[in-house]
Structure 1
Amino acid sequence: MESPALSALLPVVFLILTGLVAAKVDWIRPGAVKDLTNLVFYVLTPALLFRTMATVKLADLDFSPIVLYFVAVGLVFAGTMVVYGFTTLAAARALGHTFSNNIMIGIPLVGLAYGQEGLVTLLTLISVHALVLLGSATLVFELAQARQSSAQGKPQALGRTLWQAAKNSVIHPVPLPIIAGLLFAQTGWSIPLVVDKPMQLLGQALGPIALVLVGVTLAYSKLGSLIKPAVRIAAVKTVVHPILFLGVAWLFGLRGVPMAAMALAASLPVGANVYMFAQRYGVAQEEVTASIAISTGLCLFTVPVVLLVLQKLL
Structure 2
Amino acid sequence: MQGVISGFTVIFIVVALGYILGRTGVLGEQASSVLSRVVFFVCTPALLIHALATSDLSAVFSSTLAIASATALIIGAVYALLAKFWLGRAVPEMVIGALSSSYVNSVNLGLPIAIFVLDDASFIAPLLLFQIVFYSPVALAALDITALPADRRTSTLKTALVPLRNPILIGGVVGLVISVVGWVPPKPIMEPLNMLGQASVPLALLVFGLTLTGVRVFKKGESPRRDIVLAAVMKMAAMPLLAYAISRWGFGLTGHHLFAQVVIAALPTAQNVLVYATRYQRGEVLARDSALVTTLLSIPVIAVAAVTLA
TM-score by length of 1: 0.76
CA distance in 2, matches of 1:233, 1:7: 30
Residue 55 of structure 1 is matched in structure 2 by 54
Distance of aligned partners of 1:95 and 1:246 in 2 relative to their CA distance in 1, 3 Å threshold: closer
Residue 69 of structure 2 is matched in structure 1 by 70
Q: What is the Cα deviation at residue 188 of structure 1?
A: 0.8
1:106 to 100, 105, 114: 114
Q: What is the Cα deviation at residue 198 of structure 1?
A: 1.5
Q: What is the Cα deviation at residue 135 of structure 1?
A: 2.1
Q: CA contact under 8 A between 2:228 and 2:289: conserved in structure 1? A: yes
CA distance in 2, matches of 1:5, 1:295: 20
Residue 154 of structure 1 is matched in structure 2 by 151
Q: CA contact under 8 A between 1:218 and 1:286: conserved in structure 2? A: no
Q: Deviations over 1:29-77 (max 9, x none)?
A: 3233322222222112221222222234436877245423432232123
Superposed, 1:268-283 pairs within 5 Å as 268-270=266-268, 274-276=270-272, 278-279=274-275, 282=278
Structure 2 spans left out of the alignment, 5+ residues: 84-90
Q: Does 1:212 align with 2:206?
A: yes
Q: CA contact under 8 A between 2:97 and 2:231: conserved in structure 1? A: no
CA distance in 1, matches of 2:285, 2:196: 26
Q: What is the Cα deviation at residue 300 of structure 1?
A: 4.1
Q: What is the Cα deviation at residue 126 of structure 1?
A: 2.9
**Counterpart code for 1:191:** P
Q: Does 1:202 align with 2:196?
A: yes
**Counterpart code for 1:174:** I
CA distance in 2, matches of 1:214, 1:3: 24
Deviates more, 1:80-89 or 1:170-179: 80-89
Identity %: 18
Q: What SS class does the counterpart of residue 210 from structure 1 fall into?
A: helix
Q: CA contact under 8 A between 1:264 and 1:307: conserved in structure 2? A: no
Q: Deviations over 1:58-106 (max 9, x none)?
A: 3687724542343223212333444553466336414545758443113
**Counterpart code for 1:54:** A
Distance of aligned partners of 1:62 and 1:227 in 2 relative to their CA distance in 1, 3 Å threshold: same
Q: CA contact under 8 A between 1:76 and 1:98: conserved in structure 2? A: no
Q: What is the Cα deviation at residue 167 of structure 1?
A: 0.8
CA distance in 1, matches of 2:77, 2:125: 23
Structure 1 spans left out of the alignment, 5+ residues: 112-118
Distance of aligned partners of 1:61 and 1:303 in 2 relative to their CA distance in 1, 3 Å threshold: closer
Deviates more, 1:235-244 or 1:98-107: 98-107
Distance of aligned partners of 1:227 and 1:212 in 2 relative to their CA distance in 1, 3 Å threshold: farther
**Counterpart code for 1:40:** V
Q: Deviations over 1:171-222 (max 9, x none)?
A: 2222222122211211111122112111112111112212211221221434
**Counterpart code for 2:151:** K
Residue 87 of structure 2 is matched in structure 1 by none
Residue 44 of structure 1 is matched in structure 2 by 43
Q: CA contact under 8 A between 2:79 and 2:231: conserved in structure 1? A: no
Count of matched residue pairs: 294
Q: Does 1:178 align with 2:176?
A: no
- Cα root mean square deviation, aligned: 3.5
Distance of aligned partners of 1:303 and 1:221 in 2 relative to their CA distance in 1, 3 Å threshold: closer
Residue 254 of structure 2 is matched in structure 1 by 256
1:90 to 90, 97, 107: 97
Q: What SS class does the counterpart of residue 213 from structure 2 fall into?
A: helix
TM-score by length of 2: 0.77
Residue 133 of structure 2 is matched in structure 1 by 135
CA distance in 1, matches of 2:178, 2:69: 25
Distance of aligned partners of 1:196 and 1:301 in 2 relative to their CA distance in 1, 3 Å threshold: same
Residue 30 of structure 1 is matched in structure 2 by 29
